[in-house]
Amino acid sequence: MASTALLLLALSSFPSLTVAVLFGEPRIYGEDATGYGPIFEEEPVDVVYIEDSPDGRISMNCRARANPPATYRWRRDNWEIKLKEQPDEHYSLVGGNLVITNPIQKKHAGTYVCVARNIYGTVISKEARVKFGFLGEFPDEEREPVYVKEGQGAVLLCVPPKAWPQEVTYRWIYNEFPVFLNTDRRRFVSQKTGNLYIAKVEAQDAGNYSCFVSSPVLGKSVFSKFIPLIPLPPDDGEERKYPADIRVKFPDTTAMLASNITLECFALGNPIPHIVWRKVDATDLPANHEISESGAVLHLFNVQYEDVGFYDCEAINTKGKDWHKAWLYVESAPEWAETINNTMKDIGSEHTMRCVASGKPFPFIRWYKDGYMLGFTVYGKGELKFSSLTFADSGMYQCIAENYWGIKYANAELRVIACAPTFEFNPVKKQLLGAKDGRVVIECKPRAAPRPRFTWTKGKELLYNSSRISIMFDGSLEILNATKNDEGVYTCFAENDRGKANSSGYLTITEATSITVAPEDTEVRVGDEVILKCQASYDPMLDITFIWAIDFRVIDFNAEWQQYERVMVGLNEDGVGDLRILNAQIWHEGRYTCTAQTVVDSDTAYCDLKIVGVPGPPGVIRVEEIADTWVKLWWTKGAEHNSPILYYTIQTRHYWALYEDDWRNATPTVLDGSMEKAEVTDLYPWMEYQFRIIATNEHGSGEASIPSLKIKTWDAPPVVSPTNLAGYGGRNGEIIITWTPVEPWYFYGKKFGYIVAFKPHDAYDWWYETISDPETRRHVHRDTYFIPTEEDFQVREFQVKIKSFNVKGDGPYTLTKVIYYPRDGLCPPLKLWFGGCQWLTLEQAYNSILRDTRYRTAERLDSCINNQLNRGPFHNNPISCHLGQILEKI
């Protein structure tokens, strides 16, 4: 102890050098100290050792950067490995690396840390675990055969042996190695238990099965005794059907943030069930998902906090369904929100080291100094406080944040210094400037520890605190309302128990900088050009610059040259700093500040610029109530841009919009500008809609709001029927009825279709036909009991009508339409009237046809002539060349 005191006393005459003694070694803390404590560049990592490894050794790396170079030691399970004191045939140290030769599990498995040390302190590395890998063998006992009826489900248990690491893969051998069973919708191998699941057993499944377990890390595999699977024929020779029965159920799962997870779900059943995955209370699975194994496995990649929730697996077949759901939790390893840094502090001063970590669960904090954990007074706390630092507090500090998912380390060196005052690195400025009538501060910041006492002189006059002059806590000298009389030489004296020093500078008082023309509040329209004026007077021996800011953000004229520019002035117009705003836009509005600045002082003035323009887009639209033909909307008012909103226009876009911008004005078309809710009417029932709102003021209409979420109106009975109803009689007892289908936006509900009604003119009862396809354009009715004869040419009238229907009800019928139907489907032989028709004039043919009352209408004539011309001897009759002219005239 006496030698330490003599050493400190001997070195006290050197102001820039301080030595402390810790652990019997000197530490240098003055400005000449160029050394630093250890900083890890490589730390050990977890190791899995395979006992039959050809190397027969474990190497754990450790390297630290330090000056002077660090020495290394290792600890196992918090016990130091004494390599020098107690040599060991297994342990050896190569540089900082620990090598374990021919490791033994009982002796060498455990948790290791590397300890790096030099004269400035000691740090410990991250923990690294050494574990011995193994994969056990299956028991030698024979497996019992499994009997299952065809059509039933089966489960073959793997019962795998213990293994480390626990990450193994499972497959099943079928009859002989290396024939592996292929999985599909019917067969599934769980990678959690290894069990084989068969949704329904078939005769072809008969055979011997063995569970095959592989460890990718160890490169080793084992397989079980064969299990005979014997399918039995079903009772009565017919397979029974069974509802879906989920047998592989994923549990509540906790995943680490940014990790990948796998959820398994598989069901037995006949027919083979179909698997559907959902996230409860969400419209779809997360975007980072993938489904494999024919739907039995859900993978989530890079899991985030928003993926938390219930996940539902549903198995469905024609006999029934089953479902299972479980919760996914997401937690995270510690991350530093605030951590420690290398710090140099004066002896005797206060100091606080702070570590703040985030994580879930919330991390626990531990503190270490020079490789040893600090006491219970700071255990678990995020702060380490020093009320009066001493040399003994110098060293390497570590804070460690830990939770279930990991450990986070932070290292820093605390260096406590003591030295006499010196102005070598930060003297008082030789030339000092101050503004007339302003505040002058002359800094005095020597390097010194502990903190020195300060005194000031002007010339040879000792200065004292007064109403105008004061010595500040940090040693700086403050002069208020400076005048020319304050010019002169000022000297700062600093003294502590280690020594003293001084530094001087000359103060010159200049004329104050003052803004003479200040910018004025201005209001302009969008697109206008604006000039904001700013002029100032200043001391001619100084240079002046003008700094402009908007809402306290300094304008960068180089980066924002398209929006702002300085107004150029002549050579004799110094002190002018006007600002020009090109093409004023809404975002240019704000408070503009002009600062006229010299190296001595500055003056500031501000103005408010208002931009008048069209309104901004309204806020988010909420659809609060939905009915069949109306909805209620709520929104928030957008920016008025200094002009009141006169009215709002609501626009809609439905599912059948022709293009993305096919927005149409809704009812009501115009709303008062003071409103923030409205009822939109005249909507189509059972239609998907989006809504947007446009605000308008005296300067025009603004940008539309962001479209609302898509909603669907309720369904309702249809009110629109098909159009252009027509028909005619065909051959062989057919009635053909045609119409134009209803447009899809008039469906008004699910299961839309048509009901066609028709009857003979003199009949009482209607016949009805249901058409389920809404795109159908015609219906053909055939009377299979009617056989036409050559002599039967009676024409019959039919009445037809049609209406729409959906799940909510029926719409109205169309007006009744009369169509004509030849009962026999034949026409009077045209040869009686056109025997030599190729020699008849067009007028004679026309008059001859009309004299026969059996041709009631042009439609009837059209049907008969077409039938005749397409039959036997009249197919090539020259009358065909005149038929179009005859019908056109009729």
> Quick one: pLDDT at residue 829?
43
Strand partners, 679: 632
Domains in the chain: boundaries: 1-34, 35-133, 137-240, 248-332, 339-417, 428-510, 514-612, 622-711, 723-822, 830-889
**Where residue 359 falls among pLDDT bands split at 50, 70, 90?**
very high
* Tokens encoding 868: 């005749």
**Where residue 865 falls among pLDDT bands split at 50, 70, 90?**
low
> Quick one: pLDDT at residue 381?
79
Q: How far is CA 304 from CA 251, 260, 277, 701, in A?
A: 19, 10, 19, 41
* Least confident window among 662-666, 774-778, 844-848: 844-848
What CATH class has 248-332?
A: mainly beta
412-444 pLDDT tens trace = 999 998 999 999 989 999 999 999 999 999 999
Confirm whether 248-332 and 514-612 share one CATH topology: yes
B/e letters for 116-130, b = 16+ CB within 10 Å, e = fewer, are: bbbbbbbbbbbbbeb
* Least confident window among 326-330, 795-799, 807-811: 795-799
Q: What SS3 string covers 479-496?
A: ECCCCHHHCEEEEEEEEE
> Quick one: pLDDT at residue 285?
92
Task: Check pLDDT > 60 for residue 483.
Answer: yes
> Quick one: pLDDT at residue 609?
93
* Least confident window among 51-60, 608-617, 648-657, 853-862: 853-862
> Quick one: pLDDT at residue 334?
95
**Domain 622-711 is of which CATH architecture?**
Sandwich (2.60)
- SS3 of the chain: helix, strand, coil, percent, to 5: 10, 45, 45
Express as a percent the part of the chain with pLDDT over 90: 69
Matching residue, tokens 């190791």: 47
839 vs 534: which has the higher pLDDT: 534
What is the fold of 723-822? Immunoglobulin-like (2.60.40)
* H or E stretch at 435: strand 431-435
179-209 pLDDT tens trace = 999 999 999 999 999 999 999 999 999 999 9
131-163 pLDDT tens trace = 999 999 999 999 999 999 999 999 999 999 999
Per CATH, domain 514-612 is 2.60.40.10: yes
486-528 pLDDT tens trace = 999 999 999 998 999 999 999 999 999 999 999 999 999 988 9
Which among 275, 314, 310 has a CA at the least distance from the CA of 292?
275
DSSP assignments along 652-709, one per residue: EEETT-SSTT--EEEEEEEEETT--EEEEBSPPTT-EEEEEEEEEETTEE-PPPPPPP
Q: What mean pLDDT value characterizes the chain? A: 85
- Strand pairing report for 579-581 and 469-471: unpaired
> Quick one: pLDDT at residue 24?
39
Average pLDDT, stretch 772-798? Answer: 70
Longest dimension (CA), the chain: 151
Phi/psi at 204 (5° precision): -70, -10
What is the rounded distance in angstroms from the CA atom of residue 821 to the CA atom of residue 795?
Answer: 6
> Quick one: pLDDT at residue 878?
41
> Quick one: pLDDT at residue 376?
67
Average pLDDT, stretch 88-106? Answer: 91
**Where residue 473 falls among pLDDT bands split at 50, 70, 90?**
very high
What CATH class has 137-240?
A: mainly beta
**Where residue 870 falls among pLDDT bands split at 50, 70, 90?**
very low
What superfamily in CATH does domain 428-510 come from? Immunoglobulins (2.60.40.10)
Express as a percent the part of the chain with pLDDT over 70: 85
Task: Check pLDDT > 70 for residue 6.
Answer: no
Task: Check pLDDT > 90 for residue 329.
Answer: yes
609-640 pLDDT tens trace = 999 989 989 999 999 999 999 999 999 998 88
302 vs 885: which has the higher pLDDT: 302
For residue 540, whether the previous peptide bond is cis, meaning omega lies within 30 degrees of 0, is no
Residues 6+ positions from 616 with CB-CB distance below 8 Å: 586, 638, 639, 640, 641, 695, 702, 703
**Where residue 476 falls among pLDDT bands split at 50, 70, 90?**
very high
> Quick one: pLDDT at residue 18?
38
**Where residue 669 falls among pLDDT bands split at 50, 70, 90?**
confident
> Quick one: pLDDT at residue 823?
42
Task: Check pLDDT > 80 for residue 455.
Answer: yes
**Where residue 11 falls among pLDDT bands split at 50, 70, 90?**
very low
528-578 pLDDT tens trace = 999 999 999 999 999 999 999 999 899 999 998 889 999 877 555 678 999
Per CATH, domain 339-417 is 2.60.40.10: yes
> Quick one: pLDDT at residue 586?
86
> Quick one: pLDDT at residue 318?
87
Do residues 299 and 285 make contact, with C-beta atoms less than 8 angstroms apart? Answer: no
Do residues 846 and 807 make contact, with C-beta atoms less than 8 angstroms apart? Answer: no
Q: What is the CATH number of domain 35-133?
A: 2.60.40.10
What is the rounded distance in angstroms from the CA atom of residue 679 to the CA atom of residue 858?
Answer: 53
54-79 pLDDT tens trace = 888 999 999 999 999 999 999 999 99
Task: Check pLDDT > 80 for residue 594.
Answer: yes
